[in-house]
A and B are shown apart, each in its own frame.
Chain A
Amino acid sequence: MKKVLSILLSVMLVAIMVAGCASSKPSSTPAAPETIKIGVFEPLTGANAAGGELEVEGMKLANKLYPEVLGKKVELVVVDNKSDKAEAASAAARLIEKDKVSAIIGSWGSGYSIAAGNIVKEKKVPAVGASCTNPLVTQGNDYYFRVCFIDPFQGTVMARYAFNKLGAKKAAIIQEVSNDYAVGLASFFKAEFVKLTGDPNSVVETSNYQTGDNDFSAQLTNVKSKNPDVIFAPGNFTESALIIKQAKKLGIKTPFIGGDTWETDEFLKVGGAEVEGAVFSTFFDPSVTMTPESTKFLDEYKKAYPGKEPAAVTALGYDAYILILDAMKRANSSDPVKIREALAATKDFPGAAGPITLDVNGDAVKDAVIKTVKGGKFTYMDTVKAK
């Protein structure tokens, strides 16, 4: 029995090895000058696989729509970073050294992008992040860009919304302290809210929780006793939905506002009727076409994935790809350094998720969309202009 098994398995191993040789050959010896390669590193397995998958969806769609640039075919080289930082750095190095890509897109999760940052800087290959919002990604790195706005902007937008639209004078924050995104949003929300109200004590309570927690009664009781006008709770969708649910049970009627991570089906599923009326900022809404490119993206998306609404990060993945293509056209070259220069000069580029202008740090300056949950669905409320 054991012998049979071991023979079987050895055969399998050999088969895999043969398959390896077979598959690596055509990819390493394509007629090199005819294709331009764009590398993609995303978490396709591990904890963040869902997010990575959505972004790649957008890039593949864009690749199908615009398969050529400068008269050459564009090839997407997708590698998995396993939701692991060390792996993300290796993946980026592999794209540059082995696949000789002209530019890189990625990654969902700012930590992975930061880990790859050193390599793209050293090897002078430009990278465009789709949805990594931590300011540290592009800071001090001339070769990293992104098509999304950053945490400070989103926190500021929500503070203005709370002050201007809700008329809030006192706010409470419940933040997912182990999440860089939530901490960033919360701190810029606080700064802006204090500035708007002119009262240094206008943020009456800041409570923390860890990723994966599922009982929030302590934080909520604290918040309830301070009686705020609004509760800002940036964090992961599951935990946030639970917070809102438990708040309603405790009899808290204060409105909840948050960030773009809430825009997932799980948020609605976990929260049910209780998340009705929750308000958050995000990048994109299918019902508002911000540019002609939005219409094009939405039409193609409906064709490719019938019956599905595109996620904001899918639109951003799409934008990252077309932005790189546009930079190649403007540079009239597939040389990484020239692409970088063209990218840095991007101004009012019509992306599917709104026009993109890149500032000196390489961050996109663009409008934010405010949405709410109405009738068990995400509904568009408002667009906030970037100054």
Chain B
Amino acid sequence: MKKQDKILTIILIAGLFVFILSADLFFDSYIKRVLNLCAIYTILALSMNLINGFTGLFSLGHAGFMAIGAYVVGIFTVPVEMRSMVFYLKPMHPLIANIELPFFAALILGGLLAALVAFLIGAPVLRLRDDYLAIATLGFSEIIRIIITNAQSITNGSLGIKNIPPTANIWWIFGTAFVTIVFIILLISSSYGRAFKAIREDEIAAEAMGINLFNHKVLSFIIGAFFAGIGGGLYGALLGTVDPKNFLFVLTYNFLLIIVLGGMGSVSGTIISAFIVTAGQEWLRFLDEPLSIGSFDIPLFRPGFRMVVFSILLMLIVLFYRNGLMGTKELNWDMLKRIGSKFSFKRPKGGEAK
């Protein structure tokens, strides 16, 4: 990294810090909520991209890992005195009824538990490839959800848990997102990351080069699941409530959408598209409001229209950018400078770059 780029990066990080500080102080709770959701989706999409984009394993089990993280945070951070109120049908299991953990510990525990489950699932399942792996992981994520639904004395079953303390503020969430981004970038550029990419490109060639396929696949799967658990924990804490219906397999497609849109195998692409997809859906809300020209109400503008438009925009991107916005490329200062010099009459603008 050149010295100039280093300085630019430090300025960018400082700029982001100032941005979050001002967001925390001046933005209203609606905008903060959308920003928080963007950052949480960044964590989740990045962890999925590590498995799907960088290692080339077509896994669709993300909602399940998220559910584990969210539930661990839900179960262990609800204050003990409120528990009998939440678990009103069937009291909480006496083993865990009096254990209350601080938010950070619960978050890490959720990530670790998700990683453990990923290890147990991954060991047999990662011998499969492509579509078979997708189906098997999808199945496991549903199994996790159904176990949660039926373990009434631990998870409160389908009633869900509420009163999760709102610890997850903008600092927590953006801080975690930052740590995740840095960790994934370091991992990708380490020898492990290069091995992941080699497996993605050609398994046989990678194996011939001395890469232990199975170990690397499981490692990538476990790390991905760990961050999915962390992301899930933040998601649960942001909402203040979890229930099994949150984690239907459809949720996984949100992240699949983000990584396909941003580019399978691009960290910066994932970050950009997580923000675009999440904030974009909110921004398009004006399409749901009735619009009239003079006294004529245009019949198209009614609830649901924004999703139609959103889908059309997605199809366009997939049609014209076959590899997503970034492909496997990363946004770096050289690229920004090049874009900057192309439009030299405009000042170059830095995005979520690294």
Binding site for B on A (CB under 8 A): 2, 5-6, 9, 12-13, 16, 19-20, 22-24, 27, 44-45, 49, 78-80, 82, 85-87, 89-90, 93-94, 96-98, 111, 114-115, 117-119, 122-123, 134-136, 139-140, 177-180, 182-184, 187, 208, 210
Contact of B162 among A5, A93, A136, A187 (CB under 8 A): A136
- Bound: A94/B286 CA distance, A: 12
- Bound: A24/B152 CA distance, A: 46
Question: Chain A at the B interface: mostly helix, strand, loop or mixed?
Answer: helix
A9-B316, A90-B37, A135-B88 known; A19+B291 contact, CB < 8 A:
yes
Cβ contact within 8 Å between B309 and A114: no
Contact of A180 among B86, B238, B243, B320 (CB under 8 A): B243
> Which B residue's beta carbon lies closest to that of A94?
B30
Q: Say which one of B129-137, B299-307, B323-331 lies at the interface with A.
A: B299-307
Cβ contact within 8 Å between B282 and A90: yes
Cβ contact within 8 Å between A23 and B291: yes
Cβ distance A139 to chain B, nearest Cβ, rounded Å: 6
Cβ contact within 8 Å between A97 and B166: no
A-B contact pairs, 8 of them (CB 8 A): A16-B287, A23-B286, A44-B303, A45-B307, A90-B30, A90-B34, A96-B30, A98-B28
A20-B287, A23-B289, A177-B158 known; A86+B239 contact, CB < 8 A:
yes
Residues of A within 8 A of B37 (CB): 86, 90
Cβ distance B173 to chain A, nearest Cβ, rounded Å: 13
Residues of A within 8 A of B312 (CB): 12
Cβ distance A81 to chain B, nearest Cβ, rounded Å: 10
Ordered nearest first, which 8 A-B pairs have the shortest CB separation? Answer: A44-B303, A97-B30, A93-B30, A23-B291, A118-B240, A97-B28, A80-B303, A45-B304
Contact of B149 among A6, A9, A134, A178 (CB under 8 A): A178
Pick the most buried of A2, A27, A96, A180: most chain B CB atoms within 10 A of its CB. Answer: A180
Cβ contact within 8 Å between B246 and A183: no
A85-B246, A86-B235, A208-B150 known; A180+B160 contact, CB < 8 A:
yes
| Residues 1-50 of B at the A interface (beta carbon under 8 Å) | 28-31, 33-34, 37
> Which B residue's beta carbon lies closest to that of A109?
B245
B82-101 CB mask vs A (1 if < 8 Å, else 0) is 10011011100000000000
Q: Is B157 an interface residue (CB 8 A)?
A: yes
- Bound: A93/B282 CA distance, A: 12
| Residues 205-261 of B at the A interface (beta carbon under 8 Å) | 235, 238-241, 243-246
Cβ contact within 8 Å between B304 and A80: yes
A90-B30, A90-B33 known; A79+B285 contact, CB < 8 A:
yes
> Which A residue's beta carbon lies closest to that of B289?
A23
Cβ contact within 8 Å between A136 and B86: yes
Cβ contact within 8 Å between A183 and B158: yes
Contact of A82 among B246, B307, B309 (CB under 8 A): B307
Cβ contact within 8 Å between B29 and A89: no
- Bound: A180/B161 CA distance, A: 11
Contact of A178 among B158, B281, B309 (CB under 8 A): B158
Known: A85-B246, A134-B159, A183-B159. 18 other contacts (CB 8 A): A2-B320, A12-B312, A19-B287, A19-B291, A19-B301, A45-B304, A79-B288, A89-B239, A94-B30, A96-B30, A97-B30, A111-B245, A118-B241, A123-B29, A177-B149, A177-B150, A180-B159, A187-B89
Residues of A within 8 A of B166 (CB): 118, 122
